[in-house]
Amino acid sequence: MEQNYNYVNEYYKNKFGERVLKICVDGGFTCPNRDGTCGVGGCIFCSERGSGDLISKKQSIREQVLDGLNYKDDQAHKAEKFIVYFQNFTNTYDTVDNLKKKYDEALCDERIVGLDIATRPDCIDEEKVKLIKTYADKYYVSVELGLQTANDNTAKLINRGYNKNVFAEAVKLLRKYNIDVIVHIMLGLPNETFDDVKETVNFINQFDIQGIKIHSTYIVKNTKLNEMFLNKEFSPISFEDYMEQLIYVITHINETLVIHRYTGDPPKESFVSPEWQLHKKKVMNTLNNTMKKQNLKQGMYYQNNQ
């Protein structure tokens, strides 16, 4: 089906000339809002695995990558080029020397064409960016920054641990070295309204960003958010409201942004709510059908706020 938005699968296919798959790895990191540096417990929605529940943890980073390379047992997972994705927790939260060892260990096969690093903007500095830049001659390099929301009051509620100005500085630093930036935002956060989502879109439109991941706020066990849900302090976003907000985001961001995700991907064994979250195809089909029926295009209402 022809899509009215710039989706990552086509982007990678155009960039590399063929299908590319990501290999998600656990680099053994933690977060500064978990270890007491700026807080404890992590973000209220984040699981014990730091949103890496679907990763099968092995003894080493190299083992995880080799497992991913060998995971071609059917056509659905067949590819010859791969991007290593350091996914869970904060993957720049270490010394530069240790980061280099971990990144080098992951880039262990000639079929690997990219390095994707998920992190927090308060764990980005020039020395680390310079290290990441050293891989750019051989690999496609990108850094994913968790923003979630531009509302700093919500940020405090979810225990994010930094304000939006820190995000702004991290983006500028990464772009100084021409490293692609992928921003994470979340819809349905506690106490947030549609106006908050609009403000978040206005905020990210100020920056030179290359990609976006749009997550739904779902609940998993053993999280502060689950406690809030059980205490009736939080109700998850409805499917209808999520789709309305999702389509708003897509039609108001720059048409050049690559959409890497348009909903969350919860671990079934610890998932709590909302039920619709388990039906990713329903989200995809509703998104595609609605945009086509209403003749909506990514970026059609984009306003450059720089």
Q: Does 92 map to a domain?
A: yes
Instruction: List Cα–Cα distances, 90 to 56, 73, 116, 123, 211, in angstroms.
Output: 18, 31, 12, 8, 19
| pLDDT confidence of residue 303 | 86
Instruction: List Cα–Cα distances, 69 to 14, 65, 203, in angstroms.
Output: 21, 6, 38
| pLDDT confidence of residue 227 | 96
From 35-49, 73-87, 197-211, 216-230, the region with the lowest mean pLDDT? 73-87
Q: Does 251 map to a domain?
A: yes
Which tokens belong to 183? 């921003």
Question: Is 60 exceeded by the pLDDT of residue 53?
Answer: no
| pLDDT confidence of residue 52 | 44
Question: Is 70 exceeded by the pLDDT of residue 38?
Answer: yes
Going by pLDDT thresholds of 50, 70 and 90, the confidence category of residue 233 is: very high
Going by pLDDT thresholds of 50, 70 and 90, the confidence category of residue 91 is: very high
| pLDDT confidence of residue 306 | 54
Q: Does 196 map to a domain?
A: yes
| pLDDT confidence of residue 50 | 46
What's the maximum distance between 2 C-alpha atoms anywhere in the chain? 52
Share of the chain above pLDDT 70, in %: 93
Average pLDDT over residues 61-85: 83
With H, G, I as helix, E, B as strand and everything else as coil, classify residue 70.
coil
Q: Does 61 map to a domain?
A: yes
| pLDDT confidence of residue 70 | 85
Element (DSSP H or E) covering residue 187 = strand 180-187
Give the Cα separation of 49 and 46 in Å (integer).
8
Average pLDDT over residues 77-100: 93
Report the mean per-residue pLDDT for the chain. 93
The whole model's pTM is what? 0.94
| pLDDT confidence of residue 282 | 96
Number of alpha carbons in the 13 Å side-chain half-sphere of residue 13 = 7
Residue of 251, 261, 254 whose CA lies nearest to 213: 261
Q: Does 298 map to a domain?
A: no
Q: Does 62 map to a domain?
A: yes
Going by pLDDT thresholds of 50, 70 and 90, the confidence category of residue 77 is: low
| pLDDT confidence of residue 54 | 47
Going by pLDDT thresholds of 50, 70 and 90, the confidence category of residue 56 is: low
Residue of 200, 194, 225 whose CA lies nearest to 148: 200
CATH number for position 97:
3.20.20.70
pLDDT digits (tens, 9 = 90+) for 279-300: 999 999 999 999 999 999 999 9
DSSP letter assigned to residue 275: G
Residue 293 CB burial class (10 angstroms; 0-12, 13-18, ≥19)? exposed
Q: Does 256 map to a domain?
A: yes
Question: Is 60 exceeded by the pLDDT of residue 18?
Answer: yes
pLDDT digits (tens, 9 = 90+) for 139-181: 999 999 999 999 999 999 999 999 999 999 999 999 999 999 9
Number of domains making up the chain = 1
Q: Does 306 map to a domain?
A: no
Share of the chain above pLDDT 90, in %: 84
Question: Is 80 exceeded by the pLDDT of residue 114?
Answer: yes
Q: Are strands 271-273 and 219-220 parallel, antiparallel or unpaired?
A: antiparallel
Instruction: Report residue 249: phi and psi, to 5°.
Output: -60, -50
Question: Is 80 exceeded by the pLDDT of residue 134?
Answer: yes
* Owning domain of residue 105: 8-293
Do 68 and 6 contact (CB within 8 A), yes or no? no
